[in-house]
Amino acid sequence: MMGLASPLDASQLFGLFAHFLVLSLLAIGGAITTASDMHRYVVVENRWIDEQTFTASIAIAQAAPGPNILFVAVIGWNVAGPLGALATMVGILVPSSTLTLLATRWAERRRETRGVRAFVGGLAPVTIGLLLATGWVLAEPYLRDPGHRWGTLALLAVTMVGIVRTKVGPMWLVGLGALAGALGFV
């Protein structure tokens, strides 16, 4: 874990906050849809944490009980400790929560208009694209490793078929992935 070894200065901490503030407004479908850009910012661009720490941050938070947005706090913690967790969580929560409250009240009064229905319908492909980008970022390190490549591809295929062709809940597929990892297949 590289993040806590070198604490961020005030301008870097503000940059972390500001980046998550912007991502908050792009998080259509939840904060997880912006994980690919979080990865780009904290791993690739700034090198505050490594690939494994980033992936583990998401996995640990998703496995824990509670809201799935907790991964944002874990990423912030791994980057800069308690102040990093505070910066990322306030950045990701305040704008989107405020916008959601205002937009929901406005749209509720206009829910039958063509514009509101088109907007809601148009969000589905955007959300799917963002989720695919997040999935790719999380799977890519394992696809590059020859020892994990085929197991990862098999798990991805089973997950896709499970989601598209069955009514199996996503948590069962997450459990299958955890079991495959624990048994060393992925």
User: For the residues of 4-62, what is the DSSP string, one character each?
Assistant: GGS---HHHHHHHHHHHHHHHHH-TT-GGGGHHHHHIIIIIIS-SS-HHHHHHHHHHHH
50 vs 27, more confident: 50
Averaged pLDDT for residues 31-38: 91
Averaged pLDDT for residues 58-81: 90
97 vs 185, more confident: 97
Q: Mention every residue, 6+ apart, whose C-beta is less than 8 A from residue 3.
A: 48, 49, 53, 77, 78, 79, 80, 81, 84
Residue 2 pLDDT > 80: no
Residue 130 structure tokens: 């963002």
Q: For residue 74, which amino acid is it?
A: V
Yes or no: say if 48 and 2 are a contact pair by the CB < 8 Å rule: yes
Whole-angstrom CA distances from 134 to 12, 13, 55, 103, 109 are 24, 24, 11, 26, 34
Residue 110 pLDDT > 90: no
Q: Out of 56-65, 104-113, 119-128, pick the least confident.
A: 119-128
What is the model's pTM? Answer: 0.63
For the chain, what is the mean pLDDT? 87
